[in-house]
Amino acid sequence: MRKLPVFFGVFVLCQALGCAVELPAPSSVRRDATVLAIEKAYRTVVNISTERIVRRGYRDPFEDLLYEFYGYRRPQRTYTSYSLGSGVIVERSGYIVTNQHVVERASKISVTLADGSKHEARYVNGTAKHDLAVLKIEPKQPLPAIELAADGDLMLGETVIALGDPYGLENTISRGVLSAKNRKATWEGEVVFEDMLQTDAAINPGNSGGALINLDGQLIGINTAMMAEAQGIGFAIPVQRVRQILSELLSPEKSNGVWFGAQVAAQDGRLTVAAVQKGSPAEHAGLQAGDAIEQVNGEPVRDVVDFESRLLRKSAGEEVSLTFQRGGKSRRATVTLAAVPKVSGFDLAWRKLGLRLQPVTADLAQALGVAASQGMIVTEVERSGPAWEAGVRRGLVVSRIGGLDLRGESDVAAALGEVATGDAVTMTVFTSVRRGAFLLQNVDSVRVKAR
């Protein structure tokens, strides 16, 4: 006679005695690695909607003829342009990364979280060259933030998931594989990235700025482009570049006006102080180049973005406790943060580039046929100075420096504040020239080497 399994024997005996037995629940195969990764990351992806006020310039030759012969010109027409995109929460206090082209020149930015709540967002910083921007919302409580994968932790053929809001369809998910790791991307004729990620996960309009994650629910890239003429080909900025650019865009000096005064960078798997500014809070606290930071306020720090995020939660006057290694010994320092010293952007433009800049007033805008908020006009160029040698002349309008749109003097200061002698600065400039009844406009990119 065959022996019955022990469990079955116990079950029969209990049935005979009238006792209750709970059978073990069968394991579910539906909650697989993909579902677990999505459950971990989907609440960090947001919908971004923007409004942009567009003013139509006077380029109609008929209107110019009316003005020339009869002194009449119809009122300038404006309309509102709307666009949609996606973003990813990278810091729990409300900092969001997206593509620069999603929010470029927006007059209003709205963010919708995964729970349906809507927030007005503030543009913090961005770079058109790298197509990344940082926004800030003010949530009532800490938000879930995406976990960044380790640099280079990528496997060809591994399953990847694209999260975003294509065509305004919120919380849309598509799955595919990592098709390639080293695709080139160019900007204004210059190779910006040589390691763009390629995937066959569906990336459609509105996915821009969303997350590309692995099966651990970690961010491996920011969705940024698709090829309209191809099927199953999408691209993302790799996490290594995202981390590098975020460390610049999220610096407390640029983001919330708090001065720490030391530049940190990842080196040999450790977070190391690369440079210390003279007279800064970091110097007063005794930090030196080469110090390896291990903890911030008693908690381990993972990378540069994690470090910058800790500082972003602080205000001027607050203290930050650091534990670091120097010469094989563990040390501690307390840094008292300060407000960033105010620097005139116009003074920086003259000192570093040899340019005198002035905001484009309403009268100038009408004369030039441009939007009043479109940039800064060059009023003077130092002869034989850096800008002069690059071909910049009086009357040009500078709309962007180093990938940062110029809306005011503070933008000029932010764009030039950390530019060192010998650094090449890219400026987007345009001219408006009247030829009889026609208004001709030319846009160009100029590289100026700072002195």
Show which residues are catalytic: 101, 131, 208
According to DSSP, the β-strands at 78-91 and 45-55 are antiparallel
Exposure letters 77-106 (e unless 16+ CB within 10 A, then b): eeeeeebbbbbbbbbeebbbbbbbbbbbbb
| Residue 51: alpha-carbon gap to chain centroid | 19
* E-only strand ranges, 268-350: 270-276, 292-296, 299-300, 319-326, 329-336, 338-339
The answer to whether the beta carbons of residues 315 and 324 sit under 8 Å apart is: no
Q: What span, in angstroms and rounded, lies between the C-alpha atoms of 104 and 82?
A: 12
**DSSP 8-state symbol, 168:** G
Q: What span, in angstroms and rounded, lies between the C-alpha atoms of 172 and 177?
A: 17
Q: Is 241 left (phi over 0), alpha (psi -120 to 50) or beta?
A: alpha
Q: The tokens 């300038």 sit on which residue?
A: 76
CA angle 394–398–400, rounded 5-degree value: 160
Instruction: Note the residue count of the chain.
Output: 451
**DSSP 8-state symbol, 73:** -
